[in-house]
């Protein structure tokens, strides 16, 4: 096991958040709290048809309404954008086509919201209807006009096929091949804060957009491009987000629309979306139909795996290409999977666009895989926890699909939850109606590659020491409630030995802060943390030199703690931190340092290798206990035990908060959340409201016992790994497995509703779930083969990876 | 944010004034009590009254008092929270308090009134949507359109009565008093609700509900069971109110009312008949439950699958009766 941990002052403890009091007293300014003199209000006219060509837009009546200052349509913003370079398929306002009910078509700026509301209702749009498509299986058939004029073919946005090792042979050599089909319904982020943006163009022609965004850097790029302004004249200020979960990580049409309206009117313009509009922004969990063929030996261990996914992408690309790869990327990092094949297709449909939600693309396959393993264990009479423990992917290894694993604490997570829940004495032994289920998972700590191709750092931190002893830290990160401001301050405070609350954080401002790619992909703590440590260590070096000279002790003998710099061998001898800054500034001039972080290169060198690699992987295991009412099918979750391999907590309370929040969100996905549409009723979203879109309340939330496993990872700041997303992943399959333990029925589908439980009980095979999986039409040409490391491969595929060719596929 | 349309606002001090203002303004005026149902509806443009007459300052519409004959008079303006906290009501009318306590959330129960709950607009997830959404389905029969999307071809609206207290009032035999310029009239709760999602109350727009009277319950026992997704916040997708009076071990009177599966709370007549004169054995209860299940016709316009909701009628009626049976043993 790891060597003894250093004695930290702050790391791993739980001081209150640096912005905690402001949040609790309501002082924090979220985007919608901002007001500027002469501010106008924007409202957006949205499509009320699912798929149509725009014949004409008549805005004349709206323009005549007193108080309306500007009306905007797509023709004033003709340049397309999108988060991924390969899917620049969105317009701030639809140009010639609408693709789902809720697509933005026109916008107004008026002196108050009521007038703006009247004005959007006075806009008349004439449509020429096109056949809509609402189901990905239908989209695969390519019988209707494509929703976009790019993609792999027809309504197939992306088709992926990759094989690592000879899976066919592994399956043939297995004692048994388990074949299962699963469905994971889409769901949305449901952040409490509705998206809001305010834009203003100053008289010197510089535009500022304050916005509830998780990714100010990407918004900066998109806004400059669409507004046709040099990036140097566009400033994005990411306001503290009232929750993000991935729902605020695309550049959004409304952000660009208010900027354009501000330009047109020379007045500040604000938009705050209604809850219904937030449902239309979506970018949430893709509905995924999947088929898994798992070859196992009699002892249950995996010999080979063939996993197929069909993603319902909704109407735009968003992160979808990455999402598609993610449904196949991380099956290999928990248990040994010697050979692995993944086929995936993302289809366009006329619904709100899907994208990244907490766990991005991995909860769906994780659900399938963990339920399937439970079936393997049940069939062979194995303890499902022991089975998992018998095939751990070793630490410091390379997986079949060329992911490099560093630290790996999954077995300790399993041991903890098994012990805490008394799993071995209770699984299979509780009275009918009660059950316990186990599942595991893993998640990346930041993607190894950025979203657009570049060699630049993923996170940058600038640090300035003041003569009075204060420290200002500048970073492009965005606090979305997860506490990244606190993590940043904690890393710096630990290195410099200063009071946490003496640190001032300046974050998420493209004019003032160095780039951090954003609060997504569980990347912030690891990447920003490393950059912050580097910046702080550089400052510390300067201070140590100057103070060492003054105290006549070698710099290496100086300690930094409690706002002092002192001789560790004679702690009485020292100066205050402020005095240290004065000494250093006298010697070196202004004390300002920088730090940056770039992830290590991935060993894979095939096309698509960019999705999956990460500097480190977090691990989680969960046991869920349920009671199921056999007559109604209603499920009550009684208790959850969850172990999470965090590497090292930076702030323990924040880590536990993320674990509990993940459990909460996971239970919602497992039991009730559904982003559903009425395909036979014009394709409207069924329930776009906080009352009708069902998500658990405090009353449904069970007791959660959290175990943190701390085995520092050499790539993490102080050894830290992620916690924002990983702990969500085991919850849904653990619930499904617990329901099986309670009643002996399999619901191979989330959400696991009472009706589905009853259907499973009445079905002959005691199962409810999908029974068919369509042909994904993978051709030899689509299929890429990579030898595994064990087979002597070098990470390259049989098809040369030609970046230039990939570029051509980019739609201008 | 969704915004309220503009309206004129009156807050008179007496019931008489309320009625006068309503009469003067005509159908474009509306009563508002707690506003927890009306205001969300106005934001979605279901109703856009030009004038609102608030009951907030009408003291005579509040208060609860036990009469000498054992009956209870409740002022319709009483907030739900007050009823829920009244220990006497809790002891003597547990079914009513169970229903009240299950309504929405504590915050909303601090505003919402019992009268507003009885007059609650019917609900449907083609209807409880904002203006833009409804435009995408070309509106619906209940509001601004002419198709019932729950049952296209239907001439009537199938929006669901979702009040938790309505079925209880029916089961307990409550009487309601209404005043209008035409005078005062009394209706049985039974006759107050109509099986039409649009015209769902036997109350005229200019009538004010002034009194709710629940008769002495004698030795009968009652219960209210509510089915919904979450234990707070959610409207019922099935509500079962039941009252049983025994003569020895034999059922003398039975009242079973099913709600939230149709535009009006519905009496399960066949179930009631099947119980009367019988002992409350397992078989008898199962039979009564089956008889309630058969005619119930939930449709696809609330949360949950409607076929499952129908199945639950059987389970919930039986459980309600079992609950009463065991309460007689205490
Ligand atoms: C999120 C949410 C959840 C809810 N959950 C539930 C639930 O679980 N169960 C449930 O039953 N309800 C629920 N409700 C609805 C509502 O809160 C309650 O029914 C409440 O009791 C309504 O009372 P109110 O005083 O607010 O009515 P208001 O909104 O003021 O009025 C409702 C209607 O009654 C009429 N009215 C009111 N008082 C009188 C009177 N004295 N005479 C004549 N007409 C009158 C009004 O004109 C209006 O048409 C919920 C509401 C919300 C917003």
Q: What pLDDT digit, counting tens, does each position of A17-49 carry? A: 999 999 999 999 999 999 999 999 999 999 999
Q: Is a pLDDT exceeding 60 seen at residue B46?
A: yes
CB of A124 within 8 Å of a chain B CB? The answer is no
Q: Which of A46, A117, A691 sits opposite B3 (nearest CB)?
A: A117
How far CA A722 is from CA of A134, A292, A307, A475, in Å, comes to 36, 28, 26, 19
Do B38 and B23 sit in the same domain of this protein? yes
Atom of ligand 1 nearest to the CA of B207: 43
Band (A808; pLDDT cuts 50, 70, 90)? very low
C-alpha A131/C-alpha A154 separation (Å) is 13
- Kindly indicate whether the ipTM for this predicted assembly is greater than 0.95, answering yes or no: yes
Ligand 1: which of B18, B48, B110, B119 to mutate, judged by most atoms within 8 Å of the beta carbon? B119
- Measured between CA atoms, the residue of chain A closest to residue B304 is A755
Q: Is a pLDDT exceeding 50 seen at residue A811?
A: no
CATH number, domain of B310, equals 3.30.390.50
Secondary structure of residue B214 in the 3-state scheme = strand
Percentage, residues of chain A above pLDDT 90 = 96
Band (A681; pLDDT cuts 50, 70, 90)? very high
Nearest Cα neighbor of A585 from A474, A493, A492, A469 is: A469
Q: Is there a contact between A301 and A382 (Cβ–Cβ < 8 Å)?
A: no
Do B45 and B175 sit in the same domain of this protein? no
- C-beta atoms of A753 and B131 within 8 A: no
Do B165 and B308 sit in the same domain of this protein? no
Band (A524; pLDDT cuts 50, 70, 90)? very high
Do B262 and B295 sit in the same domain of this protein? yes
For residue A145 the two structure tokens come to 């006009």
For B257-280, write each residue's pLDDT tens digit. Answer: 999 999 999 999 999 999 999 999
Do B104 and B28 sit in the same domain of this protein? no
C-alpha B237/C-alpha B241 separation (Å) is 13
Residue where a domain terminates, one of B41, B60, B79: B60
Helices (H), A604-712: 652-671
- The pLDDT mean for chain B works out to 97
What is the rounded average pLDDT of the residues B216-242? 97
Kindly report the nearest CA distance between residue A274 and chain B, in angstroms: 5
Q: Is a pLDDT exceeding 70 seen at residue A296?
A: yes
Do B308 and B192 sit in the same domain of this protein? no
Ligand 1 pocket check for B40: Cβ under 6 Å? yes
Q: Is a pLDDT exceeding 60 seen at residue A117?
A: yes
B250 found inside a domain:
yes
pLDDT at B1: 59
Domains of chain A: 39-130+192-243+248-281 (3.90.1170.50), 159-188+283-449+604-768 (3.30.365.10), 456-597 (3.30.365.10)
What is the rounded average pLDDT of the residues A659-666? 98
How far CA B177 is from CA of A193, B35, B74, B187, B245, in Å, comes to 44, 21, 11, 6, 26
For ligand 1, the distance from its centroid to the CA atom of residue B236, given in whole angstroms, is 14
Ligand 1 pocket check for B53: Cβ under 6 Å? no
Greatest alpha-carbon span in chain A: 84
Percentage, residues of chain B above pLDDT 90 = 98
The order of strands in the sheet holding A52-58 is A97-98, A52-58, A124-129
Nearest Cα neighbor of A730 from A635, A644, A611, A791 is: A644
B10 found inside a domain:
yes
For B182-214, write each residue's pLDDT tens digit. Answer: 999 999 999 999 999 999 999 999 999 999 999
Do B85 and B170 sit in the same domain of this protein? yes
How many CB atoms are located within 10 Å of the residue A737 CB? 30
Pairing, β A635-645 against β A703-709: parallel
B125 found inside a domain:
no
B129 found inside a domain:
no
B79 found inside a domain:
yes
Q: Is a pLDDT exceeding 80 seen at residue A321?
A: yes
Q: Is a pLDDT exceeding 90 seen at residue B18?
A: yes
B260 found inside a domain:
yes
How far CA A284 is from CA of A313, A660, A769, in Å, comes to 10, 20, 22
For ligand 1, the distance from its centroid to the CA atom of residue B35, given in whole angstroms, is 7
Do B200 and B260 sit in the same domain of this protein? no
Band (A148; pLDDT cuts 50, 70, 90)? very high
C-alpha B239/C-alpha B317 separation (Å) is 9
Nearest Cα neighbor of A678 from B158, B150, B161 is: B150
Do B104 and B34 sit in the same domain of this protein? no
B141 found inside a domain:
no
Do B75 and B194 sit in the same domain of this protein? yes
Q: Is there a contact between A274 and A44 (Cβ–Cβ < 8 Å)?
A: no
For A374-406, write each residue's pLDDT tens digit. Answer: 999 999 999 999 999 999 999 999 999 999 999
Residue where a domain terminates, one of B186, B214, B242: B214
CATH number, domain of B1, equals 3.30.43.10
Residue where a domain terminates, one of B10, B42, B60: B60
Q: How many C-alpha atoms does B319 have within 13 Å on its Cβ side? A: 15
Band (A1; pLDDT cuts 50, 70, 90)? very low
- Measured between CA atoms, the residue of chain B closest to residue A272 is B1
pTM reported for the whole predicted model: 0.97
Secondary structure of residue B161 in the 3-state scheme = coil
CATH number, domain of B78, equals 3.30.465.10
* Helix and strand numbers, DSSP H then E, in chain A: 20, 34
Q: Is there a contact between A788 and A162 (Cβ–Cβ < 8 Å)?
A: no
B324 found inside a domain:
yes
Range of the domain at B193: 61-119+160-214
Do B23 and B113 sit in the same domain of this protein? no
For residue B209 the two structure tokens come to 């509900």
What is the rounded average pLDDT of the residues A92-110? 98
- A24 by Cβ neighbours in 10 Å (0-12 / 13-18 / 19+) ranks as exposed
pLDDT at A645: 98
- The pLDDT mean for chain A works out to 96
Residues ≥6 apart with Cβ < 8 Å to B87: none
What is the rounded average pLDDT of the residues A693-721? 97
Band (B130; pLDDT cuts 50, 70, 90)? very high
C-alpha A685/C-alpha A678 separation (Å) is 6
C-alpha A391/C-alpha B171 separation (Å) is 61
Q: Is a pLDDT exceeding 70 seen at residue A809?
A: no
C-alpha B136/C-alpha A48 separation (Å) is 4
Percentage, residues of chain A above pLDDT 70 = 98
N- to C-terminal Cα separation, chain A: 52
- Measured between CA atoms, the residue of chain A closest to residue B150 is A681
For A206-247, write each residue's pLDDT tens digit. Answer: 999 999 999 999 999 999 999 999 999 999 999 999 999 999
Band (A810; pLDDT cuts 50, 70, 90)? very low
Do B80 and B115 sit in the same domain of this protein? yes
For A712-757, write each residue's pLDDT tens digit. Answer: 999 999 999 999 999 999 999 999 999 999 999 999 999 999 999 9
The total number of structural domains in chain B stands at 3
């Amino acid at each position: 096991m790891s060597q003894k941990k250093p004695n930290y002052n702050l790391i791993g403890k739980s001081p209150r958040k640096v912005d905690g009091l402001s949040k609790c007293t309501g002082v924090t300014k979220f985007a919608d709290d901002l007001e500027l003199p002469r501010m106008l209000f924007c409202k957006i006219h949205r499509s009320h048809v699912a798929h149509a060509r725009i014949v004409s837009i008549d805005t004349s009546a709206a323009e005549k309404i007193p108080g309306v200052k500007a009306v905007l349509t797509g023709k004033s913003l003709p340049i397309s954008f999108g988060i991924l370079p390969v899917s620049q398929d969105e317009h701030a306002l639809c140009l010639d086509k609408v693709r789902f009910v809720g697509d933005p078509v026109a916008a107004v700026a008026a002196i108050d919201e009521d007038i703006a509301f009247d004005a959007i209702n006075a806009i008349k749009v004439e449509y020429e209807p096109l056949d809509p498509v609402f189901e990905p299986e239908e989209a695969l058939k390519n019988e209707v006009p494509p929703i976009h004029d790019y993609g792999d073919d027809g309504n197939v946005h992306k088709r992926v096929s990759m094989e690592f090792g000879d899976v066919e042979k592994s399956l043939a050599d297995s004692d048994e091949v388990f074949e299962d089909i699963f469905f994971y319904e889409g769901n949305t982020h449901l952040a409490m804060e509705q998206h809001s943006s305010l834009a203003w163009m100053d008289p010197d022609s510089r535009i500022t957009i304050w916005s509830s965004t998780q990714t100010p850097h990407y918004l900066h790029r998109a806004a400059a491009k669409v507004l046709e302004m040099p990036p140097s004249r566009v400033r994005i200020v990411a306001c503290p987000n009232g929750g993000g979960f991935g729902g605020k990580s695309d550049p959004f049409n409304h952000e660009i629309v208010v900027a354009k309206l501000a330009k047109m009117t020379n007045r500040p313009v604000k938009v705050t979306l209604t809850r219904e509009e937030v449902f239309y922004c979506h970018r949430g969990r893709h509905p995924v139909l999947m088929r898994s063929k798992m070859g196992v030996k009699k002892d249950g261990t995996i010999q080979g795996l063939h996993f197929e996914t069909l993603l319902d992408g909704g109407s735009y690309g968003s992160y979808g290409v990455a999402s598609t790869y993610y449904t196949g990327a991380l099956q290999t990092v928990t248990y040994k999977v010697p050979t692995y094949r993944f086929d995936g297709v993302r289809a366009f449909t006329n619904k709100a666009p899907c994208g990244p939600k907490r766990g991005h693309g991995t909860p769906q396959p994780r659900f399938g895989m963990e339920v399937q393993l439970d079936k393997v264990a049940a069939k062979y009479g194995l303890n499902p926890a022991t089975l998992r423990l018998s095939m751990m992917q070793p630490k410091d290894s390379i997986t079949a699909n060329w992911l490099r694993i560093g630290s790996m604490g999954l077995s300790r997570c399993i041991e903890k939850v098994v012990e805490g829940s008394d799993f071995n004495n209770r699984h299979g032994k509780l009275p009918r109606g009660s059950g316990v289920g186990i599942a595991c998972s893993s998640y990346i700590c930041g993607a190894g590659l950025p979203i657009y191709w570049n060699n630049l750092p993923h996170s940058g931190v600038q640090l300035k020491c003041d003569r009075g002893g204060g420290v200002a830290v500048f970073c492009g990160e965005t606090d979305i409630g997860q506490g990244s401001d606190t993590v940043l301050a904690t890393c710096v405070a630990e290195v410099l030995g200063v009071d946490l609350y003496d640190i001032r954080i300046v974050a998420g401002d493209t004019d003032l802060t160095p780039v951090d790619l954003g609060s997504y992909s569980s990347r912030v703590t690891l990447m920003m943390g490393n950059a912050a440590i580097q910046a702080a260590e550089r400052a510390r070096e300067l201070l140590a030199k100057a103070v060492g000279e003054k105290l006549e002790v070698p710099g290496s003998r100086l300690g930094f703690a409690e706002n002092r710099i002192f001789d560790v061998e004679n702690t009485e001898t020292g100066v205050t931190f402020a005095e240290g800054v004065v000494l250093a500034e006298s010697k070196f001039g202004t004390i300002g340092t920088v730090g940056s972080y770039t992830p290590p290169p991935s060993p894979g060198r095939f096309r698509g290798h960019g999705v999956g690699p990460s500097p480190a992987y977090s691990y989680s295991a969960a046991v869920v206990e349920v009671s199921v009412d056999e007559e109604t099918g209603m499920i009550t979750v009684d208790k959850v035990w969850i172990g999470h391999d965090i590497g090292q907590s930076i702030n323990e309370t924040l880590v536990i908060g993320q674990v509990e929040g993940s459990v909460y969100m996971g239970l919602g996905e497992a039991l009730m959340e559904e982003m559903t549409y009425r395909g036979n009723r014009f394709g409207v979203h069924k329930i776009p409201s906080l009352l009708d879109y069902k998500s658990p309340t405090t009353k449904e939330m069970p007791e959660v016992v959290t175990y943190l496993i701390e085995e520092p990872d050499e790539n993490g700041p102080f050894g830290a790994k992620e916690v924002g997303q990983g702990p969500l992943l085991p919850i849904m399959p653990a619930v499904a497995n617990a329901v099986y333990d309670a009643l002996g029925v399999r619901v191979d589908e989330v959400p696991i509703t009472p009706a589905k439980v009853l259907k499973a009980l009445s079905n002959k095979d005691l199962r409810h779930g999908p029974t068919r999986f369509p042909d994904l039409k993978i051709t030899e040409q689509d299929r890429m083969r990579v030898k595994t490391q064990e087979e002597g491969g070098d990470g390259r595929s049989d098809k040369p990876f030609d970046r230039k060719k990939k570029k051509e596929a980019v739609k201008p | 944010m969704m915004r309220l349309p503009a309206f004129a606002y009156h807050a008179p001090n007496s019931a008489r004034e309320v009625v006068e203002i309503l009469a003067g303004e005509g159908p474009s005026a509306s009563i508002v009590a707690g506003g927890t149902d009306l205001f969300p509806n106005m934001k979605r443009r279901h109703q856009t009254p030009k004038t609102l007459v608030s009951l907030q300052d009408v003291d005579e519409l509040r208060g609860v008092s036990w009469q000498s004959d054992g009956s209870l008079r409740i002022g319709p303006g009483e907030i739900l929270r007050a009823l829920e906290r009244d220990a006497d009501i809790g002891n003597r009318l547990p079914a009513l308090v169970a229903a009240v306590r299950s309504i929405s959330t504590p915050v909303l129960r601090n505003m919402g009134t019992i009268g507003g709950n009885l007059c609650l607009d019917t609900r449907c997830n083609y209807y409880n949507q904002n203006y833009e959404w409804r435009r995408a389905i070309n509106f619906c029969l209940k509001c601004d359109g002419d198709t019932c999307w729950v049952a296209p071809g239907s001439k009537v609206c199938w929006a669901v009565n979702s009040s938790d207290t309505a079925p209880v009032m029916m089961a307990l035999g409550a009487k309601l008093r209404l005043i209008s310029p035409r005078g005062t009239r009394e209706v049985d709760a039974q006759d107050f609700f109509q099986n039409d999602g649009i015209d769902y109350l036997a109350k005229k727009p200019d009538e004010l509900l002034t009194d709710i009277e629940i008769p002495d319950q004698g030795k009968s026992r009652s219960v209210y069971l509510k089915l919904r997704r979450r234990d707070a916040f959610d409207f019922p997708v099935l509500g079962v109110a039941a009252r049983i009076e025994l003569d020895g071990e034999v059922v003398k009177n039975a009242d079973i009312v099913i709600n939230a599966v149709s535009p009006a709370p519905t009496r399960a007549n066949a179930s009631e008949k099947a119980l009367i004169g019988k002992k409350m054995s397992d078989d008898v209860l199962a039979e009564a439950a089956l008889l309630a299940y058969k005619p119930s016709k939930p449709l696809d316009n609330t949360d949950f699958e409607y076929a499952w909701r129908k199945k639950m009628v059987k389970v919930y009626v039986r459980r309600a009766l079992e609950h009463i049976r065991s309460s007689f043993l205490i």
